[in-house]
Structure 1
């Protein structure tokens, strides 16, 4: 027997059971807890304690932790900006979206682990998706090519940003000696001259600045490629 698809967004939200308590308040607290402790740090018990409420009372608003995560996940989409492509042009709209999507993921690193895990059916995610379709329609794409262009842009942003999130989570707070790390990598790459050429460059680049420049380079390449596809 097939399993029924469920989502917190497919039913009307329940009204608050007490003054001052609302689903919006619960979601804000959940996002704060996720930002502080990550996915593993979120539990109904911890959230109840943060709100000075029993965990049982939270189940009035959500059936389980996944539904709570759906609500929190949509708040990440709210942080993304998609200017009207009819006013600014599709490339400007896509550029602003890509940068705001990257920043939203970096501000809420737990969201990277939810990509593909949870449905993005909230109003904020739907707004972004709708604007993206309009964006690529304005560009000149049609039919399934609109969806393929959407997938290309989001896959680029997610693919570039997710490793950055993972690095910051596991290595970003460790104070490694830059010279010692470079020497270690040089030993590992001893048989690869092209890699050694890069490692032995005299300048010491700020990793965050390099990642930002790499994102710029790749985004321009993706948009140039989409534009070239339209021309042909």
Structure 2
């Protein structure tokens, strides 16, 4: 059986602008705006062409298909990550800033959550971010493949906590659930579980965004504590 040929927008040189004021950067910026407003389902070459006052056909000069356009937009998201120099601020501080900026980038661009593992992150900004991540853990003292394992541990933690948050935010935006009605429903569901019922009635749940932020910080510190412990064993 013949394997499917791998293609990526990053495996060929970008085509030059063919008309005044039109560039791949302009197209990608407009695509990101559409994605932020309407999500993956809201992006089409037709809509993008209308936004740019250009025909959809003309956009294919710059990208071969929608997936290539998504690759370009995805790389811009990775470019928003902040990774301080671990030699200046220490590896834990650098890893923390990285984790927080990754979470915030995903929350700003919720469509990116659906691209994880679906599209290759081969763009220059994604690769630069990955290289800086590895430097953080190499500076910490990890060696060989442990550098990659430490990097994937932190990124997996960020993905694991942020993806459900993105899904929840999307659901709330689509359905506009009433918070008080949801709490009433939770009380009924948890009536046979006193400890859970106590949590539902806690005032901190009046501000779920804060609860999620505190939970993220708790988990991140725990992950970094575990990685630091491995360096001393």
Taking structure 1 as the reference length, what is the TM-score of the superposition?
A: 0.95
The worse-fitting range, judged by mean Cα deviation, of 187-196 and 111-120 is 187-196
Residues 177 and 76 of structure 1, relative CA distance in 2, 3 Å threshold = closer
What 5-or-longer segments of structure 1 have no aligned partner? Answer: none
**SS where residue 153 of structure 1 aligns?**
helix
Matches within 5 A, 1:193-204: 193-201=194-202, 204=205
Number of corresponding residues: 231
Deviations 1:154-196 (A, max 9, x none): 0111111111111111114725142x43232121112223212
Deviations 1:5-33 (A, max 9, x none): 11101111110111111100000010011
What 5-or-longer segments of structure 2 have no aligned partner? Answer: none
Kindly state the Cα deviation for residue 203 of structure 1 after the two structures are TM-superposed: 5.2
Partner of 2:128: 127
Residues 83 and 203 of structure 1, relative CA distance in 2, 3 Å threshold = closer
Matches within 5 A, 1:1-232: 1-172=2-173, 174=176, 176-178=178-180, 180-201=181-202, 204-232=205-233
Give the CA RMSD over aligned residues.
1.3
**SS where residue 206 of structure 2 aligns?**
coil
Kindly state the Cα deviation for residue 46 of structure 1 after the two structures are TM-superposed: 0.5
Residues 10 and 204 of structure 1, relative CA distance in 2, 3 Å threshold = closer
Quick one: distance in 1 between partners of 2:205 and 2:219?
22
Kindly state the Cα deviation for residue 201 of structure 1 after the two structures are TM-superposed: 3.3
Residues 19 and 153 of structure 1, relative CA distance in 2, 3 Å threshold = same
